[in-house]
Homo-oligomer: A and B are copies of this chain.
């Protein structure tokens, strides 16, 4: 039963079903402390409150008495009950004042994060098509895991990850990507981002460790390492991937996305892979291999993972299920050299213990029963079709103006924008026309090597791609 009281809703238990007076007291107090009842506001007379809340007058009186005793309200003789100034809403005292200068420097000027509004044609990168995911299978496996949990004590979770899941991941990566590992080398993480974060914690000594990063690259990786106190060293990328000959001679960490460079989409050549590992050996550096989109290779034979070539000594291989399954699952993993596993697990404990166990159990079954391999195989065809549609639409509507970079994998395409107009200038008119784009500059630290636009095709169906490009072409005609 709900009744409005000023702008409040009092939700009272049915008479006789519980402590009505306590419910009334709590709700009035909550309204005062969260400011719905502001300092100085006059409360209704007890008779009125009793009527509004559907309680007896003595109950209403008792609730007021408690609030008076606690100092939340004041009675002014003859004129009723008021919210006391001390306990008024946040506007009533200094509660609104900012202590933001107390924040640690890296976070002091963080802008509020606001999810972007939906647009008709969404070419955002990094998202797979969640609508194609077999949620019916996932629901069944989740229900199974929940049934098992209801019979389990819940104690004894392994912070390295559910052993069954680690086993499934080890088999999955050895078969799909020829990554040499067993379950002991796998650390389950809350998505690839947590993998980067844990690696940054464990491998960075503040102000001493330098990491080489691809530029353009994947900015959140740089944020994690910068926040841990690493010095960042940008290395350019060309059509063969990271320019290994531009790596500094003295370097502690090298981060690279060899399968499908993030965001250019190119593949690190076999020669560069060998050269990179030789360089790492010579510099005694460690390598972080982000196997970004590695599963969505659209043609040709995949090249060996660096981890495979290195034999698991100095390469940390990072994978995720955010793209091969769905983003919001938030499960990824690191395949780590054995010497680093205890440190990563300890950092994981300090950070957030472990990934929710039910999700881990369901995922172990999903992989072990072949659903993951099946889904990836199917989606490879879906994404190949979308890439094809995108290439055709680009040719048709933009001709030479937008030149796609070669890409054999993944969920997006990078295009070079020819002419004098910076790609950023396309974004507002595109959004006006219902098209969400990403610019290459958002993934580049200056200087910008390529004026480009990124087109993700995880969120857009093949049939929508031509209409989207037509709308985009019309929107940027004058630019």
Closest to A347 in B: B107
Question: Is A115 within 8 A of B156, CB to CB?
Answer: yes
Closest to A136 in B: B150
With an 8 A cutoff between CB atoms, is A147 at the interface? Answer: yes
With an 8 A cutoff between CB atoms, is A366 at the interface? Answer: no
The count of identical subunits is 2
- Neighbour of A33 across the interface among B30, B174, B227, CB < 8 A: B174
The B-contacting residues of A in range 112-131, CB under 8 angstroms, are 112-113, 115-116, 118, 122, 124, 127-128, 130-131
Give Cα distance in the complex from A94 to B337, angstroms.
12
- Neighbour of A313 across the interface among B94, B128, B174, B353, CB < 8 A: B94
With an 8 A cutoff between CB atoms, is A413 at the interface? Answer: no
- Neighbour of A201 across the interface among B191, B227, B341, CB < 8 A: B227
Contact with B along A146-167 (1 / 0, CB 8 A): 1101111111111110000000
Given the interface pairs A175-B30, A359-B356, the reply to whether A102 lies near B286 with Cβ below 8 Å is yes
Closest to A222 in B: B350
Given the interface pairs A142-B142, A311-B90, A311-B95, the reply to whether A328 lies near B358 with Cβ below 8 Å is yes
By a CB distance below 8 angstroms, the chain B residues around A451 are none
Question: Is B313 within 8 A of A99, CB to CB?
Answer: yes
Given the interface pairs A122-B155, A328-B358, A342-B112, the reply to whether A150 lies near B174 with Cβ below 8 Å is no
Closest to A185 in B: B34
With an 8 A cutoff between CB atoms, is A139 at the interface? Answer: yes
Question: Is B358 within 8 A of A197, CB to CB?
Answer: no
By a CB distance below 8 angstroms, the chain B residues around A127 are 153-155
Question: Is B147 within 8 A of A135, CB to CB?
Answer: yes
Question: Is A352 within 8 A of B327, CB to CB?
Answer: no
Give residues in A with beta carbon < 8 Å to B: 26-27, 29-30, 33-35, 70, 87, 90, 93-100, 102-105, 107-108, 110-113, 115-116, 118, 122, 124, 127-128, 130-131, 133, 135-136, 138-139, 142-143, 146-147, 149-160, 170, 174-176, 178-182, 189-191, 193-194, 197, 201-206, 209, 220, 223-224, 227, 229, 252, 286, 304, 308, 311-314, 326-331, 337-347, 349-359, 459
Q: What are 27 A-B interface contacts by the 8 Å CB criterion? A: A33-B178, A90-B312, A99-B314, A104-B201, A104-B209, A110-B343, A111-B342, A111-B346, A113-B342, A122-B153, A122-B155, A124-B155, A127-B154, A128-B154, A131-B150, A131-B153, A149-B328, A154-B459, A155-B327, A157-B328, A197-B352, A201-B227, A220-B349, A220-B350, A224-B351, A227-B347, A356-B356
